[in-house]
Amino acid sequence: MPAVPPAAPDAVLVVDFGAQYAQLIARRVREARVYSEIVPSTMPVAEMLAKNPKAIILSGGPSSVYAQGAPTVDRALFEAGVPVFGMCYGFQLMATTLGGTVDNTGSREYGRTVLHVSKTGSTLFEGTPAEQQVWMSHGDACSAAPEGFTVTGSTDVVPVAAFENDEKKLYGVQHHPEVLHSTHGQQVLEHFLYRGAGIEPTWTTGNVIEEQVAAIREQVGGSRAICGLSGGVDSAVAAALVQKAIGSQLTCVYVDHGLMRKGETEQVEKDFVAATGVQLKVVDAQERFLAALAGVSDPEQKRKIIGREFIRVFEQAQAEIIAEAEPGEPVEFLVQGTLYPDVVESGGGSGTANIKSHHNVGGLPEDLEFSLVEPLRQLFKDEVRMVGQELGLPEEIVQRQPFPGPGLGIRIVGDITRERLDLLREADAIAREELTAAGLDRDIWQCPVVLLADVRSVGVQGDGRTYGHPIVLRPVSSEDAMTADWTRMPYDVLAKISTRITNEVSDVNRVVLDVTSKPPGTIEWE
């Protein structure tokens, strides 16, 4: 089982009622330098309280509080003396559980809404304007607050859009303070944490490192571990963190599966080893992966095959490492750079849909012979970068654009062949070169380059008719991969990338731009 840190003394529990925003709430709490944990709404209140949380936040969710089978919460949660903050569905659940009124009025609010704050000096709204933009997403509305609560906010259609009970330390808002569209949302959240719950903002990435080092040492003991380096920041930071915990008990394995971008294998062998001094074993498995993927075009099947072959290669590496190990040092653990978004999108969050299996989560074979060590499983991408910086990894590794574990295998829409991989590698290298030359590496979170291998379009090259493949550019901006928007790149940069790709990469005669946000699209095409 993955090593998950125990609740810290000042931990805030985020109760997930089935919305992916629960993960974003946890992220915002951490931005306030307070440690947070996600727990499912199905967890009994007694178990929540047994964690000794400093505060509890009830997330939003897709249900109506009156719907049959909708998530509920025991009234004991609000009578335990622990500060509670309800957001959206959590707000309505608090209201109905404590005797307030929530109605289906037919007046829905979705998107940007003006909140009228009636108590600007209240615990939540101190120092914020009387009218402020918030982000709403609800059909039901609270028309009467529970007894003992003070109404602190309303909208044009909702009479009770925020309430507070300082005596019992219970607070709620109808909107989503965790999203950036709520202009004072972070301030309201921090008011709850600091003023309502009395929490000191002391949690840092240094705490993450200390907690995980202790957890890793306890989990691994005297055994050995191997870590699969993918070339990305996640696996690099995970490996550096585990090495800090167990030192020479860790051996990193880099599988050259033939699905990496141009020059990345050499970069892993040089930069990461130089920065960390880890033991690195390089396995050339290109032919094995190409043979396993031959004729496969379904993206889920690709992911599962790649995940399976990774494990099998690791098992072979394990046998070799065992043969070289000292007696009494079994190789029992596999280190992975699994992150929160990976878990959520693979259906690991309470009530969340399985959008796609991640190779670290849904793509692992059932007969896995390793116990997993996943020190980053509770973190978002930006937090991982901060941990990497704290560990002293070089900027080239820490700030590297995200790259999927299955590599270019899921950036080819269609069958995977060596020729198609080489074609995509060249197009991707050109795009990355031009983004770097334009100084856009930090402005663009990542720019997947996709080959539509099963699509051909007519073109004119060299005064002749061509029938080539399209290349898709997918530049996106994001903080944590939970949501993303396409990046508005300068036209001259796009033009240069397009011109170079169509001039320099054979069998490509068209470059297109993906301008879809997430949601509804995912960042990767497959």
Cα separation, 89 vs 81, in Å, equals 21
**Terminal-residue alpha carbon distance, the chain:** 28
Is 241:270 a contact under the CB 8 Å cutoff? no
**Element holding 390 (H helix, E strand):** helix 381-390
Q: Are 448 and 401 in contact (CB under 8 A)?
A: no
Residues identified as active-site:
88, 176, 178
Structure tokens given for 520: 């509804």
Place of tokens 């309800």: 86
Report H helices in 105-222: 185-191, 205-220
Residue 404 to residue 513: CA distance in whole angstroms = 20
Asked whether 157 and 109 are in contact (CB, 8 A), the reply is yes
Rounded alpha-carbon distances, angstroms, from residue 264 to 36, 120, 306, 337:
35, 54, 18, 18
Neighbours of 79 (CB within 10 A): 12
Q: Which two tokens stand for residue 198?
A: 């009395």
Residue linked to tokens 């496969």 = 296
- The pair of three-digit structure tokens given for residue 518, joined into one six-digit string: 């997430």
Q: How many whole angstroms from its chain centre is CA 244?
A: 24
Ordered DSSP codes for 199-221:
------HHHHHHHHHHHHHHHHT
Residue 416: exposure state from Cβ atoms within 10 A (0-12, 13-18, ≥19): buried
